[in-house]
Structure 1
Amino acid sequence: MRSAHTVAQVRAAEAPVLAATPEGALMKRAATGLATALAEFLGRVYGARVLLLVGAGNNGGDALHAGATLARRGASVDAVLLAPDRAHPGGLTAFRHAGGRVVDAPRGPYDVAVDGIVGIGAAGGLRPEAASLVASLEGTPFVAVDVPSGIDVDTGRVEGPHVRADLTVTFGTHKVGLLVDPAARACGVVHLVELGLDLPAPVVEALQEDDVRGLLPVPAPDAHKYTRGVVGVRAGSDRYRGAGALCVSGASTGLVGMVRYVPADAGSAVASLVQADHPEVVVGEGRVQAWVVGSGADDAAAEQLRAALADGVPVVLDADALGVVDRPLGVPAVLTPHAGELARMLGVERAEVEADQLRCAREAARRFDAVVLLKNRHTLAVDPDGRVRVTTVGPPWLATAGAGDVLAGLVGALLAAGLAPFDAASVGSWLHGAAAALASGGGPLTAPDVARAVPRTCARLLGEP
């Protein structure tokens, strides 16, 4: 099942959200949406065996009302009440009247288990009784109500036992923990049920096709190569020749009018490799609107960065260049670390970054006064002003050598074309993931495949054949 969200940006709000309609009406909408999603997930309702894990409060009430709907349609529905004295009264009454059974323990096997244990107000992992119950159902597919129980909804952290859902049916708006890893990994497919809520300002956004289409730099009818922008690349070394060539590949995807490549050494073999792959690229110094620095730069990173900063134009820093940054750069900048690189920049262990990705990326954005593009399964673009966008497109096959070099070049091209650093980072990450999905076709791919697919991805986005 794909997300039912229909507006452009996926907007994630911190809990709680504000209701614009009475609670009873909201629960009815939520439960109806949950029951519909469960029916689609099951493929059939009549004769299906369903288990509800019901905690206290409205989350359990949603599960009970949805279970009642399925029971009326011929499903066999059991419910285990984890807090019998605090089960939602209306939901429990409706469930029993529909023929649902309250049981002390699962009587499996079941076709699906519905996680209605805790909702958005909970903190920390599952309590021992709930954790034991969930563990006993290993092998049974889970559908989570609003959020998988045990994740941290507002930060994306996971601290302790939690539900791993195959499907999460969320209500009103996406929550931060549904988009930001590691919590997002526990959510499976996310399906949004609209409730008509008055929502607070989003703290995380995920660009969708309409957003990217609106931000993509498209040439004016009278454009020429210089008005479209020139991006410069200072990357690669004799030790890492391919990184420089791949970074140029990401920059030379047609999003700017020209690409310049400046090798670390006058006689560098990287320049020959770049020209062989990209005869359109100009090798040598010249005016640019943005620089990309660091991919495979090795010992030349510091000098390449110094030379780029001397021009006073926006910069993208990747790989080796990240290791020489210890303060704000004084120009608009995008930093593109993976978790290990960000850990070194912050002086912490990699495990800390992986467990608390949003907080660490925010800290780095503030410390270095730069947009931080934290590369991961769900890549985060974090602006120093607090804005956050998460990229959720891109297949697992994108975890391949050289993909980050391509991404750095692509972001640099968007900077040179005139996008602000936050937009260049988030749009570049989205195009990178979408191009990988197009190039992959469900199978393996390599970094050059991603670069070659960017023009086709843009053409599809713009509605061209």
Structure 2
Amino acid sequence: MRYAHTVQAVRDAEDALMARLPEGVLMQRAAAGLAAVGAEVLGRVYGSRVVVLAGSGSNGGDALYAGARLARRGAAVTAVLLSPERAHTAGLAALRAAGGRAVGTEDAAAPIARAHLVYDGIVGIGGKGGLRPQAADLMRAVYDARAAVVAVDLPSGVDADTGEVAGDAVRADVTVTFGTYKPGLLIDPAAGLAGALRLIDIGLGDDLGVPAVEALQNADVAAMLPRPGGESDKYRRGVVGIVAGSDRYPGAAVLAVSGAIRGGAGAVRYVGGGGAAVLARHPETLVSTGSPHAAGRVQAWVVGPGLGDSAAARTAVEEVLASDVPVLVDADGLRLMSRDAVLARNAATVLTPHAGEAAALLGRPREAVEASRLDAVRALAGAYGATVLLKGSTTLVASPSALEPVRVNPTGTAWLATAGSGDVLSGLAGSLLAAALPAADAASAAAYLHGLAARLTPPPLTALDVATTLPSAWPL
């Protein structure tokens, strides 16, 4: 698992560790890692040209000490001091002692134009708002020079705790972060500015406490997924019910069932008007045309994809939400459900909106949801007492309890922005619910597999391509 902690948690952990260490040790650990990554990016340190954009405080100090280490290895290092009177005194002295030099912003143009590598030490993890105009101008010069940009702890101008970007921000090629990931490094829009991530262990360890955000890795997903045993049969492995599709949208039924069949449950029951299309593609499906209650026993329901907005569709959503098994609500089901019906449920509920649907449920503009994805997914989970999978450039999964870390999906590709891909995801997640995975595990494992299958599918891909590739994404 990859963990991310809030700024306050990091500061508390640093304070606890610094109380046990000699002065300056923590900064030297950070600088050593920062210099090592810089050397990797350069390839050849001796004779290279490095610029350190140094703001005030410890972030600038980390960058200055890293610059001193590269200067001792033969790099020509120039520090551009954004606030000369508040520059980190010891870091600046170390750079000068190693043969580096320091200039003010008025003399920055020439060294930036010749730079091979630029360290962004402008603002630390406590910074709020976008870059100030002077810093933004410096970064535009850096981009024009086509120097590699290495951000110190996180790109300046992004919010470390939320991933929000309120103005101009640094666009890094590599971000070297210390002790733990920061939520903003894993969540868009900030994550899209971080480049490749490198985590440097500086010894914070158990002092960090409970993470705010976590991201599954392949071993975590492999440990979660259902595996049939010698005594398994199709009913013991779980049966998932799919209420999806309509005369107008039969393809949604096929796609949701396709995802469910590849999700590890023992059987799929389909209820709706797309039965003929479903059977033509998946003859193993158990199809019925009556109400969900009359379809037979299931261990979880998926309701909503392509359902339309008819009275019959609304009734089907109400019936499913009244059941005593886990339920996943997607697409049209999100418009047709009532908040009271969701809050009244005793079994787990999973909601899978995209940003537009989340905006409608929260009464916010879509742009506000996309800019503040972490806040939106937490607010939605709390308001509905449900596990929420918020789809998008960064897919997030939040549990109803604010004490649980939000999960961020590390897989996926922009090619998933194609018709029907969400239907496949809902069927896959519903199948994992039927196989008895807890709601957050089912949603986050489904997002992981769905994204990985898309990566494994040659573009341009279709939703059905993703469903077909799912077995290749399944960890062995």
Please indicate the TM-score interval, normalised by the length of the shorter structure: over 0.9
Task: State the Cα distance separating 1:232 from its structure 2 match.
Answer: 0.5
Q: Distance in 1 between matches of 2:180 and 2:362?
A: 32
Pick aligned residue for 2:303 from 247, 272, 293: 293
Q: Determine the C-alpha separation between the residues in 2 that align with 1:42 and 1:293.
A: 53
1:115-155 CA deviation, whole Å, 9 max, x = no partner? 00111122111122222222232233321000111111111
Q: Please show how residues 347-426 of structure 1 align to structure 2 within 5 Å.
A: 347-386=363-402, 387=404, 388-426=406-444
Question: Structure 2 length as normaliser, TM-score?
Answer: 0.91
Alpha-carbon distance in structure 2 between the residues aligned to 1:385 and 1:287:
29
- The one-letter amino acid of 1:26's match is L
Aligned to 2:291: none
Letter in 2 for 1:49: R
Q: 1 CA distance for matches of 2:209 and 2:167?
A: 29
The answer to whether structure 1 residue 160 and structure 2 residue 167 are counterparts is yes
Identity of aligned residues (%): 55
Larger proportion of helix: 2
The residue aligned with 1:119 is: 124
Contact 1:314 1:332 in 2 (8 A): yes
* TM-score, normalization by structure 1: 0.93
* Correspondence list, 1:10-409, <5 A: 10-16=2-8, 17=10, 18-19=13-14, 20-21=17-18, 22=21, 23-104=23-104, 105-107=108-110, 108-139=113-144, 140=146, 141-197=148-204, 198-263=207-272, 268=273, 270-284=274-288, 285-300=295-310, 301-328=313-340, 329=342, 330=345, 331-386=347-402, 387=404, 388-409=406-427
Identify the range of structure 1 (178-187 vs 335-344) with the bigger mean alpha-carbon deviation: 178-187
Contact 1:326–1:368 at 8 Å: present in 2 too? no
Give the corresponding residue for 2:292: none
Instruction: Give 2:449's aligned residue.
Output: 431
Unaligned runs of 5+ in 1: 1-8
Whether the 8 Å CA contact 1:343–1:353 is kept in 2: the answer is yes
The question of whether the paired residues in 2 share the 8 Å contact of 1:316 and 1:335 is answered with yes
Letter in 1 for 2:463: A
Is contact 2:309–2:336 with CA below 8 Å preserved after alignment?
A: no
Give the drift of 1:381. Answer: 0.1
The residue type equivalent to 2:338 in the other structure is D
Could you tell which deviates more after superposition, 403-412 or 271-280? 271-280
Which secondary structure state, in structure 2, belongs to the residue aligned with residue 144 of structure 1? strand
1:254: Cα distance to partner? 4.9
Please tell me the root mean square deviation across aligned C-alpha atoms, in Å.
Answer: 1.4
Alpha-carbon offset, residue 212 of structure 1: 1.0
Q: Which runs of 5+ in 2 are unaligned?
A: 289-294
Once the two structures are superposed, residues 395-433 of structure 1 have per-residue CA deviations (whole angstroms, 9 ceiling, x without a partner) of: 222222111110000100000000111111111111111
Contact 2:178 2:202 (8 Å CA) reproduced: yes
SS at match of 1:136: helix
Check conservation: 2:243, 2:303, Cα contact below 8 A. yes
In the comparison of the two structures, how many residue pairs are matched? 445
Contact 2:318 2:337 in 1 (8 A): no
Give the Cα–Cα distance (whole angstroms) in 2 for the partners of residues 48 and 64 of structure 1: 16
- Distance in 2 between the 1:179 and 1:321 partners? 29
Contact 1:119 1:147 (C-alpha < 8 Å) held by counterparts: yes
Q: Which amino acid aligns with 2:136?
A: A
Q: Which amino acid aligns with 2:176?
A: V
In the alignment, what sits opposite 1:5?
A: none
- Of residues 461, 467, 470, the one that matches 1:445 is 461
Q: Does the Cα contact within 8 Å between 2:174 and 2:198 map onto a contact in 1? A: yes
- Give the whole-Å Cα distance in 1 for the aligned partners of 2:263 and 2:363: 38
